[in-house]
């Protein structure tokens, strides 16, 4: 990442996030319930400044210890070797999986753009707070990834990656999750941004994402047209991904049934998430992305 | 309900219904709409199909509606009719009364309008020609309007538009009601010559539909077969006050004094107080309040109002009952007061300067003198030919020997042209008087000085040297007498007046008397008034106006009471006739290059004024009751309703197709 490229990347970032939004994001950080409940209670150290370390305890030196951490002051007074023990630095990873299948290209406003804005906001928070941030786009498997970013200097790269993310291809969620989990390390938060309109179902994929060290957050984005279709007449509905044709004659009853099915689908997803201790947020692309991030995600304690 | 052309509908249905169903089963061309995922839609469709309690997709409803619309149109094509009348085609004669009594307003707006409305209903109920398969003929009707005369407005036709137009063209008249002509005309048309048509055999005689108020003057002259005539009675009340007679007379002695008699009749059941107004030339001269007795024992109450006015000149007299009632036409009556006419005088003499100068001093319009022989040659041989002179003065005509050696030499001609005569000497045989012997040196001893002819004439000193002894017919009026014989007499013959003077004036001292000139002038004035009265009689509605103009008159203009001007052609002999006097009022006939003639045309008909509607007619013993209610409508076609229904269903189908919320 050369510094020379930064101004343009900054400009690219501005395409996704405006200045005010970024300013409000600056105050936030990624939180993880799992880490709070982990072995270092109450604290999650961040590396704000160089190698700022915090002393925790002493213990007796045993051969083999790193001599760099011997407390020579105590040795001078007591003539005994004690080791300085520091707080373990919790390195939080934020992984964002972004649906980039053809179905996200739909909607007015576009789901695709909305997904990328959300991803950018979350990644921004992660990068600003020096968390390890990884972005993946998936469709039929993972289609692109940008891993191991840390610090503001990656903002431009992040924006570039998101802006270049395509929106085509069929979805194969389970495959994507499989691929991704195999390369995942550390602990942190996994955020899945998708419309979850997967013909194969979402359960198998999500189950792979659930683990002890990773907290899962599911953000379900639908377009207003999907929540309340404005269709009429005898239509042949063509699936954007697999070109499957469904002949329907729009009627009041059909629309009602569609609504019923949609809420059942969303309800099923929510229930799945609750059961597996994941966060579930349903939104639609007409909602302002900043409002979702600043209000809903904070309420769901994804950000704090 | 019956069908006129069921096969048409069946054929059309056999084509159209399968075509519609076929169209329905053809693959619907659907609009392709890309969506993000068909996942939820597929499920929704499946769920809907599984869950729908009644599996009736909307498309089927559309098909159902389309079929319904098609069915309605097909049924309409079959031309269903209500109350099918399959009897042989009828021929109907619509007899519509347009007499004065039909102008009564007791039925709004008028009886005639109501009659026309009912007649139109009958026309509407006529059966039209059937479809391609039934092959029967349509009903036909003709329209005759009758009042004093009958007019065929439309011959037999099935064209309802033409019939309705004929009915609409009937106008109100002030005529009387004579049905016999109309019935005779209707029967004459009933069997058109040269028509060989089984459907029009004598078995189906034309049915007469009479629309009238039943005030028909000549019912006893009409004979109808039972059931041949349907009487549609129109009208209700009998309340009417009418002028049924008007007479204007100048006093015999004083021509300025005008006596007017107005006979006012009341046809209502209650006595009526009203005012009778008399106007001359539009200026009201007198108004008199009268009370007219009510109708009693079937006879209307009469009151005669008499006016005495002083009016010397000409004018139009109008009497008017100032009381609005159902029939306005009979509240007025007119009479024309003729002016004394300037006469054309023909003097037939061998030469009589005294007579000639005396007549000349009377300022006649024309004074021609011819010899008696010439007169005979022109007129006498032709008998009753009309004269073009108003007054012929025969002076000593008897002195002339007849042209052909007749049996009686020296005798006045047997026959004279019709006209007014002043005869000096032996009376002509046409007068009915004759001369028996001769009298000598007679004095006139008595005369009727109050007769217009002898007004201001003193015969005291008239000595007649030789006179004829006159033997007069019984109806003659003696105006002056010698001691034992009439000297001057008036006889009315052939609509003319003859003043017979029994002596030759040249054989008397009369020419030297101023009274002789006075006498001549009196005669001219008297004859002139007589001629004027004869010329402008009161006419009844429907009677023709007739003017004897000068020969060669070709054109005349008649101004009707409505103010319309009608050009009339004269006959070669100079007579001008105008027969279309259908409205009461004053007609002005202006002969081209001649004087105007005024004619008063009056209703003055007690039968017409009696407007109480009859509900039963008695035709020569055959009673016909009035039809109750309107004409029964046969063969009412209901296809327009069905077509409307089809249209509505199409609208509903369109709505169902378009509506967002359905089922």
Among chain B residues, CA nearest to A251: B662
Please list, residue by residue across A149-179, b when 16 or more beta carbons sit within 10 angstroms of its beta carbon and e when fewer do.
Answer: bbeeebbbbbbbbbeebebbbbbbbbbbbbb
- Residue showing tokens 């996030």: A17
Confirm or reject contact between A111 and chain B (CB < 8 A). Answer: yes
Q: Which tens digits make up the pLDDT trace of B1-15? A: 677 778 888 999 899
Q: How many CB atoms lie within 10 A of CB A202?
A: 23
Note the pLDDT of residue A42.
36
Is the pLDDT assigned to residue B87 strictly greater than 80? no
- Residue showing tokens 């001093």: B361
Is the pLDDT assigned to residue A1 strictly greater than 50? no
DSSP state of A140: B
Confirm or reject contact between A243 and chain B (CB < 8 A). Answer: no
Per-residue confidence band for B228, with pLDDT thresholds at 50, 70 and 90 = confident
Note the pLDDT of residue B84.
61
Q: Is the peptide bond before A109 cis (omega within 30 degrees of 0)?
A: yes
Q: Which tens digits make up the pLDDT trace of B546-595? A: 776 656 667 788 888 888 888 888 777 667 788 888 888 888 888 776 66
Angstrom distances, CA of residue B186 to CA of B153, B205, B226: 11, 11, 16
Return the top range by mean pLDDT from A290-299, B65-74, B545-554.
B65-74
Cβ <8 Å between B33 and A240: no
Token pair belonging to A90: 């919790």
- Residue showing tokens 């004053």: B586
Cβ <8 Å between A238 and B43: no
From A111, A234, A238, residue closest to B28, measured CB to CB? A234
Per-residue confidence band for B202, with pLDDT thresholds at 50, 70 and 90 = very low
Burial class (CB in 10 A: 0-12, 13-18, 19+), B148: buried
Per-residue confidence band for A271, with pLDDT thresholds at 50, 70 and 90 = very high
Note the pLDDT of residue A221.
92
Q: Count the alpha carbons within 13 Å of B540 in the hemisphere toward its beta carbon.
A: 14
Is the pLDDT assigned to residue A34 strictly greater than 60? no
Per-residue confidence band for A263, with pLDDT thresholds at 50, 70 and 90 = very high
Per-residue confidence band for B402, with pLDDT thresholds at 50, 70 and 90 = very low
Interface with chain A: mutation pick from B26, B31, B32, B37, highest number of A CBs within 10 Å? B37
Per-residue confidence band for A136, with pLDDT thresholds at 50, 70 and 90 = very high
Note the pLDDT of residue B474.
87
List of residues 6+ apart from B49 with CB closer than 8 A: B55
Cβ <8 Å between A236 and B40: no
| Residues from B in contact with A at Cβ < 8 Å | 28, 30-45, 47-48, 51-52, 57-59, 660-663
Phi, psi values for residue B161, rounded to 5°: -65, -45
Cβ <8 Å between B660 and A240: no
Closest approach of chain A CAs to the CA of B51, in angstroms? 10
Cβ <8 Å between A239 and B37: yes
* CA B42/CA B52 separation, integer angstroms: 15
* CA B447/CA B513 separation, integer angstroms: 16
Q: How many CB atoms lie within 10 A of CB A300?
A: 14
Average pLDDT over residues B79-89: 69
Note the pLDDT of residue B134.
46
Q: List the B283-292 sheet strands across, edge first.
A: B283-292, B272-280, B315-321, B332-337
Cβ <8 Å between A261 and B40: yes
Note the pLDDT of residue B57.
58
Q: Which tens digits make up the pLDDT trace of B430-451? A: 788 888 888 888 888 888 888 8
Q: Which tens digits make up the pLDDT trace of B496-516? A: 788 888 888 888 888 888 888
Is the pLDDT assigned to residue B54 strictly greater than 60? no
* CA B240/CA B233 separation, integer angstroms: 18
The DSSP element (H or E) to which A235 belongs, if any, is strand A234-239
A194-203, B37-46, B248-257: which has the minimum mean pLDDT? B248-257
A47-51, B206-210, B243-247: which has the minimum mean pLDDT? A47-51
* CA B127/CA B82 separation, integer angstroms: 12
Closest approach of chain A CAs to the CA of B656, in angstroms? 10
Token pair belonging to A129: 């707070």
Beta strands in B90-206 (DSSP E): 91-97, 140-146, 150-157
Task: Please tell me the total number of residues recorded for chain A in this structure.
Answer: 304
Three-class secondary structure assignment of B265-318: EECCCCCEEEEEEEEECCEEEEEEEEEECCCECCECEEEEEEEEEECCCCEEEE
Per-residue confidence band for B406, with pLDDT thresholds at 50, 70 and 90 = very low
Best CA proximity match to B632, nearest among B271, B121, B236: B121
Cβ <8 Å between A239 and B48: no
* CA B417/CA B376 separation, integer angstroms: 10
Within chain B, which residue ranges are assigned CATH 2.60.40.10? 241-338, 543-602
Note the pLDDT of residue A218.
92
Within chain B, which residue ranges are assigned CATH 3.40.50.880? 344-535
CATH number of B543-602: 2.60.40.10
Q: Which tens digits make up the pLDDT trace of A86-121? A: 765 566 788 899 999 988 888 888 899 899 988 999
The DSSP element (H or E) to which A72 belongs, if any, is helix A72-78
The DSSP element (H or E) to which B489 belongs, if any, is strand B486-493
The dihedral through the CA atoms of B177, B178, B181, B185 has a sign that is positive
Cβ <8 Å between B28 and A231: no
Per-residue confidence band for A257, with pLDDT thresholds at 50, 70 and 90 = confident
Size of interface A-B (CB pairs under 8 A): 99
Domain A3-33+90-299 matching CATH 3.40.50.410: the answer reads yes
The DSSP element (H or E) to which A252 belongs, if any, is helix A252-275
Average pLDDT over residues B225-238: 81
Best CA proximity match to B267, nearest among B305, B245, B293: B293
The ipTM is 0.78
Average pLDDT over residues A130-141: 88
Average pLDDT over residues A185-214: 85
Note the pLDDT of residue B133.
41
Residues from chain A contacting residue B26 (CB–CB below 8 Å): none
Q: How far apart are the first and last CA of chain A?
A: 29
Q: Which tens digits make up the pLDDT trace of A154-191? A: 888 898 899 888 888 888 899 999 888 887 777 788 89
Rg, chain B, Cα only? 40
Note the pLDDT of residue A269.
93
Q: CATH for B91-237+611-634, among 2.60.40.730, 2.60.40.1730, 3.40.50.410, 3.20.20.100?
A: 3.40.50.410
Task: Please tell me the total number of residues recorded for chain B in this structure.
Answer: 663
Q: What is the rounded average pLDDT for all residues in chain B? A: 79
| DSSP per-residue string spanning A10-52 | HHHHHHHS-HHHHHHHHT--B--HHHHTSSSTT------STT-
The DSSP element (H or E) to which A208 belongs, if any, is helix A203-209
Is the pLDDT assigned to residue B169 strictly greater than 60? yes
More confident residue, A248 or B81: A248
Beta bridge partners of A86: A55
From A103, A252, A254, residue closest to B44, measured CB to CB? A254
From B42, B48, B57, residue closest to A246, measured CB to CB? B42
Closest approach of chain B CAs to the CA of A168, in angstroms? 11
Per-residue confidence band for A270, with pLDDT thresholds at 50, 70 and 90 = very high
Is the pLDDT assigned to residue B194 strictly greater than 90? no
DSSP state of B33: E
Note the pLDDT of residue B165.
92
* CA B622/CA B636 separation, integer angstroms: 33
Interface with chain A: mutation pick from B26, B41, B52, B660, highest number of A CBs within 10 Å? B41
More confident residue, B210 or B663: B210
List of residues 6+ apart from A45 with CB closer than 8 A: A54, A87, A88, A89, A90
Per-residue confidence band for A194, with pLDDT thresholds at 50, 70 and 90 = very high
Rg, chain A, Cα only? 23
Closest approach of chain B CAs to the CA of A32, in angstroms? 33
Confirm or reject contact between A53 and chain B (CB < 8 A). Answer: no
Is the pLDDT assigned to residue B244 strictly greater than 90? no
**What percent of chain B lies above the pLDDT cut of 70?**
82
| DSSP per-residue string spanning B219-283 | GGG----TTTEEEEE-------EEEEEEEEEE-SS-TTEEEEEEEEEE-SSS-EEEEEEEEETTE
Among chain A residues, CA nearest to B39: A199
Note the pLDDT of residue A49.
31
A236-240, B4-8, B271-275, B656-660: which has the minimum mean pLDDT? B656-660
Average pLDDT over residues A178-206: 86
Supply angle C-alpha A167, A170, A171, rounded to 5. 95
Q: Name the CATH topology of B241-338.
A: Immunoglobulin-like (2.60.40)
Closest approach of chain A CAs to the CA of B44, in angstroms? 5
Cβ <8 Å between A254 and B45: yes
Q: Which tens digits make up the pLDDT trace of B338-381? A: 766 667 888 888 888 888 888 888 777 788 888 888 887 776 65
The dihedral through the CA atoms of B132, B134, B137, B140 has a sign that is negative
DSSP state of B30: P
Q: Which tens digits make up the pLDDT trace of B284-331? A: 888 888 888 888 877 888 888 888 888 877 788 888 888 888 888 788
CATH number of B344-535: 3.40.50.880
Note the pLDDT of residue B204.
62
Q: B343 by DSSP, 3-state: which?
A: coil
List of residues 6+ apart from B605 with CB closer than 8 A: B100, B176, B244, B330, B540, B541
Average pLDDT over residues B227-242: 82
Interface with chain A: mutation pick from B28, B39, B46, highest number of A CBs within 10 Å? B39
């Amino acid at each position: 990442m050369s510094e020379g490229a930064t101004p343009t990347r900054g400009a690219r970032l501005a395409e996704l996030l405006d200045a005010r939004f970024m300013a409000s994001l600056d105050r936030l950080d990624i939180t993880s319930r799992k880490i709070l409940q982990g072995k270092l209670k109450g604290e999650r150290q961040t590396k704000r400044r160089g190698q700022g370390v915090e002393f925790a305890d002493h213990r007796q030196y045993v051969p083999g210890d790193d001599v760099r951490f011997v407390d020579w002051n105590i040795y001078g007074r007591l003539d005994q070797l004690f080791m300085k023990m520091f707080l373990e630095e919790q390195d939080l990873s934020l992984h964002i999986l972004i649906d980039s299948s053809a179905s996200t290209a739909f909607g007015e406003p576009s789901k695709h753009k909305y997904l990328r804005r959300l991803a950018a906001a979350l990644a921004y928070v992660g990068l600003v707070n020096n968390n390890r941030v990884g972005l993946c786009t998936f469709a039929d498997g993972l289609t692109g990834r940008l891993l191991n970013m840390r610090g503001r200097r990656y903002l431009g790269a992040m924006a570039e990656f998101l802006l270049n993310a395509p929106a085509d291809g069929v979805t194969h969620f389970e495959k994507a999750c499989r691929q991704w989990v195999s390369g995942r390390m550390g602990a942190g938060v996994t955020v899945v941004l998708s419309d979850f309109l997967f013909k194969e179902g979402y359960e198998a994929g999500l189950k792979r994402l659930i683990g002890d060290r990773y907290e899962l957050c599911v953000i379900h984005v639908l377009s207003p047209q999907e929540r309340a279709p404005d269709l009429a007449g005898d239509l042949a509905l063509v699936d954007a991904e697999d070109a499957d044709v469904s002949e329907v004659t729009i009627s009041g009853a059909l629309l009602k049934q569609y609504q019923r099915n949609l809420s059942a689908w969303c309800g099923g997803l929510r229930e799945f998430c609750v059961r597996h201790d994941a966060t579930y947020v349903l939104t639609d692309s007409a909602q302002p992305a900043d409002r979702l991030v600043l209000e809903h995600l904070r309420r769901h304690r994804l950000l704090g | 309900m019956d069908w006129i052309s069921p096969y048409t509908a069946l054929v059309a249905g056999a084509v159209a219904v399968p075509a519609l169903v076929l169209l329905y089963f053809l693959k619907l061309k659907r609009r392709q709409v890309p969506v993000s995922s068909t996942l939820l839609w597929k499920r929704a469709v499946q769920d809907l199909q599984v869950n729908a309690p009644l599996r009736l997709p909307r498309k089927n409803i559309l098909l159902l509606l389309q079929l319904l619309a098609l069915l309605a149109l097909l049924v309409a094509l079959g031309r269903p009719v209500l109350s099918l009348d399959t009897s042989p085609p009828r021929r109907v004669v619509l007899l519509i009364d347009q007499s004065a009594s039909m102008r009564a307003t007791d039925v709004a707006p008028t009886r005639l309008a109501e009659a026309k409305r009912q007649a139109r209903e009958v026309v509407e109920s006529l059966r039209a020609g059937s479809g391609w398969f039934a092959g029967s003929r349509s009903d036909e009707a003709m329209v005759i309007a009758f009042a004093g005369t009958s007019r065929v407005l439309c011959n037999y036709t099935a064209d309802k538009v033409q019939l309705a137009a004929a009915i609409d063209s009937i106008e109100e008249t002030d005529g009387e009601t004579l049905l016999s002509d109309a019935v005779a005309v209707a029967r004459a048309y009933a069997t058109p010559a040269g028509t060989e048509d089984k459907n029009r055999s004598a078995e189906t005689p034309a049915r007469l539909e009479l629309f009238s108020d039943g005030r028909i003057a000549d019912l006893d002259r009409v004979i109808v077969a039972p059931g041949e005539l349907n009487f549609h009675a129109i009208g209700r009340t009998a309340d009417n006050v009418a002028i049924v007679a008007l007479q204007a007379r100048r006093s015999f002695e004083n021509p300025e004094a005008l006596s007017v008699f107005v006979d006012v009749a009341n046809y209502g059941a209650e006595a009526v107080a009203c005012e009778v107004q008399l106007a001359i030339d539009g200026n009201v001269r007198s108004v008199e309040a009268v009370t007219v007795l009510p109708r009693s024992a079937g006879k209307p109450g009469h009151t005669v109002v008499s006016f005495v006015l002083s009016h010397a000149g000409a004018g139009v007299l109008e009497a008017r009952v100032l009381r609005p009632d159902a029939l306005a036409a009979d509240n007025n009556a007119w009479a024309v007061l003729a002016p004394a006419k300037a006469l054309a005088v023909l003097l037939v003499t061998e030469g009589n300067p005294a007579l000639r100068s005396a007549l000349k001093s009377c300022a006649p319009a024309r004074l021609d003198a011819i010899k008696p022989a010439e007169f005979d040659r022109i007129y006498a041989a032709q008998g009753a030919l009309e004269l073009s002179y108003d007054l012929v003065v025969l002076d000593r005509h008897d002195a002339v020997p007849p042209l052909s050696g007749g049996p009686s030499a020296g005798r006045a001609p047997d026959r004279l042209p019709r006209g007014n005569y002043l005869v000096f000497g032996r009376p002509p045989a046409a007068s009915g008087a004759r001369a028996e012997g001769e009298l000598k040196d007679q004095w006139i001893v008595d005369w009727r000085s109050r007769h217009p002819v002898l007004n201001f004439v003193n015969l005291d000193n008239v000595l007649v040297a030789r006179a004829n002894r006159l033997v007069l017919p019984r109806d003659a009026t003696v105006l002056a007498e010698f001691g034992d014989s009439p000297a001057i007499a008036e006889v009315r013959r052939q609509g003319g007046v003859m003043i017979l003077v029994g002596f030759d004036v040249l054989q008397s001292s009369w020419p030297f008397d101023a009274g002789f000139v006075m006498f001549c002038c009196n005669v001219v004035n008297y004859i002139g008034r007589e001629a004027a009265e004869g010329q402008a009689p009161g006419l009844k509605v429907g009677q023709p106006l007739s003017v004897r103009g000068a020969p060669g008159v070709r054109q005349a203009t008649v101004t009707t009471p409505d103010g319309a001007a009608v050009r009339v052609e004269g006959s070669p002999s100079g007579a001008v006739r105008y027969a279309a006097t259908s409205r009461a009022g004053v007609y002005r006939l202006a002969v081209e290059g001649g004087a105007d003639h005024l004619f008063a045309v009056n209703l003055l008909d007690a039968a017409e004024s009696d407007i109480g509607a009859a509900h039963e007619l008695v035709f020569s013993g055959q009673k016909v009751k009035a039809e109750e209610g309107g004409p029964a409508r046969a063969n009412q076609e209901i296809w327009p309703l069905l077509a409307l229904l089809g249209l509505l269903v199409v609208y509903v189908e369109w709505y169902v197709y378009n509506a967002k919320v359905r089922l």
